[in-house]
Structures are given as C-alpha cells and as structure tokens.
Amino acid sequence: MSNYIGKTIEELHELLVSKKVTPLELAKEVIEEIKRENTNAIETLAEKEALEFASSLNEVEEDNVFWGIPFVAKDNFATKDILTTASSDILKDYIPCFDATVIAKLKEKKAVLIAKTTLDELAMGGTGTTGHKGITYNPYDPTHTYKIGGSSCGSASIVAQGIVPFSLGSDTGDSVRKPASYAGLVGMKPSWGRISRYGLFPFAPSLDHVAYFTRTVKDAALVLNVLAGEDLSHDATSSINAVPDYLKDLEKSLNGKRIAYIKELNESIKDQPILDGMNKIKDIFVSLGASVEEVSIDLRLLAAIYPTYMIISCAEATSNNANLDGIKFGPRIGEEKTYQEVMMKARTAGFSELIKRRFVIGSYSLFKDNQEELFLRAQKIRRIVVNKVNEILSSYDAIVTPCGGIIRNPFISNDNISDKLDQGTMAIENHLAMGNFAGLPSISIPMGLDDGFPFDVNIMTKAFTESECFNIAYALESKLDLKNIYAKKVGE
Ligand code: GLN
C-alpha cells in the first residue's frame, strides 16, 4: 500500500516541503493507486499530463500548500486537451480547448490534476449509476450492494479511498453533500456565486454550484481559499464580495451560538444511529456553549422541495442542454438530410433514459399551456422555501440537519421511486436542496459510523458566511473522532 494514502493536504504539504517525497513520486503513486481501484470511479486518467506537470515542479514552494498536491475532478469540468464527457455518450469525444476557472486556479497553484471522475450523466441524478460507464461503487461496501450516491460519485470515491486529499464536484440539489455522507467525507457547497462556474457544464444554473470533497474541515477551508473569488470576465454570476481567509475563524469559540434543528426532519429519520448522532451532536454543541432548539417547517413544504426542484432543474436543464444537438456538440450519426434528423438521431443515441425523461419533464413544464401551473408554481414554492429558511437563519446562526434518513441505501434510482415515497422520506432525503434554492453555504461532515458505514450531518448558514460554517463544522469535527476517515482505515 502506498505511503501517501489517507494523507490530508496539510500532511502531504509537509512531506513535499521536507522533500520526503517529490510531486512526481507522489503523482506516480496516486496513478498506481487509481489503476488498482475497483469502484469504477474514473472516466479518464490524465497520466501523461499529470506526470509532465508534476515533473516540472522542482522548486519547493513552502508558502503554497497546494504545490504538488494531487487531485481529481468530476468530468463535467472543462479540462483543456483532456477528454471531458460528463459521463454522457453525447460528449464521448469532446476535448475542450479551455480550462474551467477552478481547474485553472488549481493549476496556477501547482496542484496536479490526476484524473477525471465519473458522475451520473450530465450531473442529473443522485445514485452514481447513470453515467455511461455504469455503476460507481462505494469503497465502504466491498459487497457492492449500497450506493455511494451522486451525482459526484467518482470524486467522492477517490477521496473516500484516501487516494487524493481533495476532489472537485458540482452540487445542484445535493450532489456533493449527499455522497459525502455515504462516503464519510467533508462535502462543501459554498454560497451561490462564491466560486466561478466558468467551464462547469451547466445543468440548472439558478441552482448549480461548484462544490468539493475533502476529509477534514481545515482542508475544506484551504480549498475554498483557492477557489473563491469573482471571475466577472468569464462568469457574470460570480460574486464580487471580498474573499476572507477561511482559516482565520476556524478555531473561534461557539459560545453563544444558536443552532436550529428541524423537528420534522428529525422525526423523519429512519435509522436509529442517525437520530443518536443528532442527539450526541446536540450535547456537543451545548458543551461548547451553544444552544440547540427545534424549529418547525411544515412537512408538506419540506416534501414539496423535491418536486419543486425537479420542475425547476429539469426546465433549466432542457434549455441549457439544447446545444447538445449533434451539430454544435455530439457525434453525427448516419447521413441525415435535415438538421432536425441530425438532432433527433444524435440525441436519441446520446442520452440515457433518465436524461430523456428529465428533458420531457422540463419541456412539458415550459410548454406555454403548462407554465403557469408547473414552472411558475414551482418558482413560487421555491420562494416560500427560501423565505422560510432565511427566516430561521435570521434568529439562528445555523441550521443543522442529518443528510438523509438511511445509512445504507441500495441502488435504486430516485427518479423511479419518488412518486411512491411518503412525505417524511421525500423530506428527509431531499431537503439539502434548500441550500441550492437559497444559495447558502452548506457543509456535510462525518457524524457517525454504523457497522463500518459512515453517515454525515449537514450545517447550513447565511449566504456568504462560509467562515461561520467552517467554524461550526471544525468545532464539531474536533469532538467527534471521525476526522480524516477513509475506507481502508475504517475497514482495518
Ligand atoms: N440528486 C439530485 C438530482 O437528481 C441532485 C443532482 C445534483 O446536485 N447535480 O438531480
């Protein structure tokens, strides 16, 4: 086994600075581990590019913690000269001629991109099963029965195996924060606009966020220090708010902080260890001088989050993916005579069932006769949810919730079963999308282990208070003994 498995960004930095390992040696080790990994987490291994870049890093940069640090990125970030498929057949040959801003920023910091990772096709989905390479497995489950979740499944798996210390993902509904829970990781989604989305393939731009995985809260703060910031020349939705040093407030006291638990969500938990975890965390908060109170959100409103999310995200997706038409993007199939035929054949062959179903939902809700009833209504419900969440956050510093109600989830698509679920299940399994509706910082961190399977708790704070979010997460992490866990370590 590699000597570098399970090391954090900080630990690897120390090894690199003291020359116990070089960026090239480290990149080679990581590549070997990735070749051996068996969760089907990789779309493209950028071996040649990674080795070339790592071997150019000869001058140690003591003040730059990212110097020589290996990472992987979800395959919906454009990477110059490296295949970028979004795990979809329609983009199976697409090689971008530019880097996404986040990739460029990490390159500038001399972090080494090792591979592109699998996702649910075009980031639509939460199961890690719908990408064109098939199922991505959970490294905590050698029996391959339970999902790692998605859509950022591959990026979650590689960090959960301890192979790299961080990875990039995207989060439109919960696609980083939910797999973080199944994989025992820190999953961070900052405020909408905090990180430039230039080069991230759009799914539903009013909800899309760049997000990422680490195994410690401190590493998560370090990563945001690099990724945050305006990028107006490329992404007009990126925020011009000043970027603080996210390490600064990590160790602040929680004394006097007011934490809200949501009663209806706690009542919807199915697995007892999750409820026990929430109770334990409450005691920790209290011991740190914070107070925890239960507040209410009508269960019907919580259960409405998923259908609302589906209408808005599918409508936006239908329109944003209109360029995947076999003309601008996607393979030309056969000798079609009209452009309609070109589009129809390319899209029929290029998309899986799930994507087609979502485009049908999106088109249907945008259809003139249905707009009022579906699209506009969904936007109104989104507003009600946002108002409710912001109202709670006007009296509390954070909303703390479980990431879901079940620890071990078998491979069934949300899309197939959601119409048969009860309100409690709908609410507890999909509420993290509140953070996308309102564009709030939201971090998942490990809260417990049940028979070797991890599960996370989520912390959400007011817009652009990432420092506060990290502060609360850091305090909890330091009391929970689940810092930097990864599959091999837990399995030992
Ligand atoms: N599970 C959600 C969906 O199915 C979230 C996807 C995401 O955040 N990209 O769309």
Task: Decide: 172 in ligand 1 pocket, CB within 6 A.
Answer: yes
Distance 145 CA to ligand 1 centre (A): 21
169 in ligand 1 pocket by Cβ < 6 Å? no
Whether residue 219 is contained in a domain is answered as yes
Evaluate whether residue 195 is within a structural domain: yes
Find the farthest-apart pair of alpha carbons in the chain and give their distance in angstroms, rounded. 72
C-alpha 385/C-alpha 177 separation (Å) is: 19
Q: How many CB atoms lie within 10 A of CB 435?
A: 29
Ligand 1 neighbour 415 (Cβ under 6 A): no
C-alpha distances in angstroms, 484 versus 58, 217, 358, 393, 469?
A: 29, 9, 37, 29, 18
- The domain total for the chain is 1
pLDDT at 451: 96
75-94: average pLDDT: 97
Return the ligand 1 atom nearest residue 436 CA: 8
pLDDT over 60 (residue 415)? no
* pLDDT band at residue 411 using 50, 70 and 90 as cut-offs: confident
Assess whether pLDDT exceeds 60 at residue 182. Answer: yes
**Is 390 within the bounds of a domain?**
no
- Across 197-224, average pLDDT: 98
What angle do the packed helices 23-36 and 9-17 form, to 10 degrees? 140
Q: Which of 74, 110, 218, 388 is catalytic?
A: 74
The answer to whether position 215 is within a domain reads: yes
* Across 427-454, average pLDDT: 98
Instruction: Choose one of 88, 148, 168, 175 to mutate for the ligand 1 pocket test, by most ligand atoms within 8 angstroms of C-beta.
Output: 175
Q: Which domain holds residue 27?
A: 9-253+442-491
**DSSP assignments along 12-40, one per residue:** HHHHHHTTSS-HHHHHHHHHHHHHH--S-
> Over 90: is that where the pLDDT of 357 sits?
yes
Q: According to the model, what pLDDT value does residue 379 have?
A: 98
Question: Ligand 1 centre from 152 Cα, in Å?
Answer: 9
Chain segment 103-154, per-residue pLDDT in tens: 999 999 999 999 999 999 999 999 999 999 999 999 999 999 999 999 999 9
* Residue 37 clears pLDDT 70, i.e. is over it: yes
User: Distance from the CA of 155 to the center of ligand 1, in angstroms?
Assistant: 15
Q: Is position 55 annotated as part of the catalytic site?
A: no
Identify which has the larger pLDDT, 415 or 257: 257
In the block, residue with structure tokens 């709030």: 440
CA of 122 to the centre of ligand 1 (A): 10
Mean pLDDT of 296-315: 98
Domain assignment present for residue 2? The answer is no
Distance (angstroms) between ligand 1 centre and the Cα of 170 equals 9
CA distance 388 to 394: 10
Measured from the CB, is residue 123 less than 6 Å from ligand 1? yes
Distance CA 87, CA 100 (A): 17
Q: What is the mean pLDDT of residues 147-176?
A: 98
pLDDT, residue 491, reads 73
Q: What is the pLDDT of residue 414?
A: 53
Q: How far does residue 173's CA lie from ligand 1's centre (Å)?
A: 5
pLDDT score, position 334 = 75
> Comparing 198-207, 407-416, 440-449, which segment has the lowest mean pLDDT?
407-416
Q: Which atom of ligand 1 is nearest to the CA of 123?
A: 9
Q: Which atom of ligand 1 is nearest to the CA of 176?
A: 8
Ligand 1 centre distance from Cα of residue 46 (Å): 26
Name which residue sits closest to atom 4 of ligand 1, judged by CA: 125
Does residue 327 fall inside a structural domain? no
Under 8 Å between Cβ of 215 and 445: no
Residue 228 within a domain? yes
Q: Is the beta carbon of 173 within 6 A of some atom in ligand 1? A: yes
Under the banding of pLDDT at 50, 70 and 90, the label for residue 488 is confident
Residue 235: the pLDDT is: 98
Catalytic residue at 151? Answer: yes
Question: Is there an atom of ligand 1 within 6 Å of 361 CB?
Answer: no
- 174 pocket-lining for ligand 1 (C-beta < 6 Å): yes
Give 350's pLDDT tier (boundaries 50, 70, 90). very high
Residue 176's contacts (CB-CB under 8 Å, 6 or more residues apart) are 152, 155, 156, 169, 170, 187, 188, 189, 211, 212, 213, 444
CATH number at residue 468: 3.90.1300.10
Q: Output 226-234 pairs: Cβ under 8 A, ≥24 positions apart.
A: 226/66, 226/105, 226/106, 226/109, 227/102, 227/105, 227/106, 227/195, 228/190, 228/194, 228/195, 228/466, 229/195, 229/196, 230/196, 231/101, 231/196, 231/198, 234/101, 234/196, 234/198, 234/199
pLDDT value, residue 420: 66
Task: Select from 84, 240, 44 the least CA-distant residue to 170.
Answer: 84
Q: Exactly one of 87, 88, 175, 444 is catalytic; name it.
A: 175
Bridge pairing between strands 186-189 and 442-450: antiparallel
Q: Of 400, 391, 385, 393, whose CA–CA distance to 438 is shortest?
A: 385
Is 175 catalytic? The answer is: yes
Ligand 1 neighbour 171 (Cβ under 6 A): yes
Task: Give the Cα separation of 386 and 380 in Å (integer).
Answer: 10
Mean pLDDT of 1-5: 79
188, pLDDT greater than 60: yes
Residue 171: its pLDDT value, please?
98
Does the residue 469 lie in any domain?
Answer: yes
Average pLDDT, the chain: 96
State whether the beta carbon of 466 lies less than 6 angstroms from ligand 1. Answer: no
Q: Which atom of ligand 1 is nearest to the CA of 175?
A: 8
Indicate which residue of 151, 170, 442, 444 is catalytic: 151
